[in-house]
Amino acid sequence: MSQKEEKIEFPDFDGIIMHCKTLMSLKFPEYKNSWKEKDYEFQIQSLQLDNEFWQKRLKEEVKEFLEAKTVEQARKELADIINVCAMIYEKCVWHPDPNWRYG
């Protein structure tokens, strides 16, 4: 007798992404594409370090989520967290140290 193979189940990413995009669209008139101006850098050799900006922004979104009192508020804040994480993901750059012999 063969066991039924368990299949991986994913969250409703399409629905979540649509909600995230809707929130970004609503905020666009105020913020435009300003998120594209700041990279999140690794092996920093540059003077334009913006990691603090992104970390502060993400912490603020998490704080707002933890303070949510309704499912609607929580979902909105979670979508904001996802949006900030997606922005950071998109903006992650790696600058190898030119002085490192093996990099």
Please write the tens of the pLDDT for every residue from 89-99: 888 877 666 66
Mean pLDDT of 64-88: 95
pTM of the model: 0.72
Mean pLDDT of 74-82: 96
56-91: burial string, b at 16+ Cβ within 10 Å, e else: ebbeebeebbeeeeeeeeeebbbbbbbbbeebbeeb
